[in-house]
Amino acid sequence: MADLPLLLEPQALSEQLDNPNLLIIDLCSSDSYARGHVPGAIWMDPARLQRGSGPVPNKLPNADQLSQLFSELGLTATSHVIAYDDQLGALAGRLIWTLDIVGHRHSSVIHGQLPAWIGAGLALEQQPNSATPSTFVAEINESLVADIPYILEHLDDEQVAIWDARSAEEYRGDKVVNAAKGGHIPGAIHFEWTSSLRGLQDWRLQDLEAIRRHLDSLGLGSDKTVVTHCQTHRRSGLTYLIAKALGYPDIRCYDGSWFEWGNHPDTPVER
């Protein structure tokens, strides 16, 4: 099977539903899945994209957790994963990042997520689907992850840009969410995660070249190593997806995000 595009239009997916290599993952709420999902989709609890324990539970799961997750989902080397959610693409983007980390590069998202599928007049099904388990051994590629030591080491590096995907209020420090301190990482550039969508009712991305030009103008161009984060690395799942769609060669996610940085006693903050 030729690789499908990263941003897969609903109609194009509908023409591939009988392809045995497709692994369609629904990251919506369990209630949404029960009401109706893309035919053949398997529901995955989005909480499993996080470690779920320790002082920073929103971090990437460890290799054992990811091995168990992807084995339960039936992931194999020939699988092409199709992800979608009901969160504007944030969870689907985080799943794509996680798949990239374990070296599985055959993946797409429904462009516009579940609302785009419904808006295209395509059928939903209510019957739940079960995966055929596989044996998947996850090995983590750390080059797609940034942590506090990495960021501190590169604070003055002009070739590394921090993309803060939170709201403007959070970036300025006017709004502080589950953190001891507000503001942003010194030198971080703000571009809110939803700013590249066509609208809050249309979750498709705007013209990619227009997004590229705007990111270039902000100092978040593809000529740099870009580290993206938000509060818990949910919203920055979408910004990772955007950078991947634009072909950025070095995009990393700070999965600790502001929940870690804003609660750490020794991290510098700018307001």
Q: Using one digit for the tens of pLDDT, what is the confidence trace for 238-266?
A: 999 999 999 999 999 999 999 999 999 99
Work out the average pLDDT over 93-115: 99
Q: Long-range contact list for 218-223, CB < 8 A, 24+ apart?
A: 218/189, 218/191, 219/161, 219/189, 220/161, 220/163, 220/189, 220/191, 221/161, 222/246, 222/247, 222/248, 222/249
Looking up tokens 């950078």 gives: 243
Is residue 73 classed as helix, strand or coil in its secondary structure?
helix
In the chain, DSSP finds a helix count (H) and a strand count (E) of: 10, 10
Q: Are 45 and 241 in contact (CB under 8 A)?
A: no
**Domains, the chain, ordered by start:** 7-139 (3.40.250.10), 145-262 (3.40.250.10)
Q: In what order do the strands lie in the sheet with 145-146?
A: 145-146, 251-254, 225-229, 160-164, 189-190
103 token code pair: 């070296």
Residue with tokens 């634009």: 246
The pLDDT of residue 26 is 99
Calpha distance 135→42 (Å, rounded): 17
The vertex-222 CA angle with 220 and 225, nearest 5°, equals 75
The one catalytic residue among 230, 238, 241, 242: 230
Helices (H), the chain: 10-14, 30-35, 63-73, 90-101, 113-119, 148-153, 168-172, 208-218, 235-245, 257-261
For residue 2, the model assigns a pLDDT of: 63
For the chain, what's the residue count? 271
- The pLDDT mean for the chain works out to 98
pLDDT band at 226; cut points 50, 70, 90: very high
Short-list 192, 185, 179, CA closest to 238: 192
Give percent above pLDDT 70 in the chain: 99
Residue 1 pLDDT greater than 60, yes or no: no
28 catalytic per annotation: no
Do residues 92 and 85 touch, judged by C-beta distance below 8 A? yes
pLDDT higher than 70, residue 151 = yes
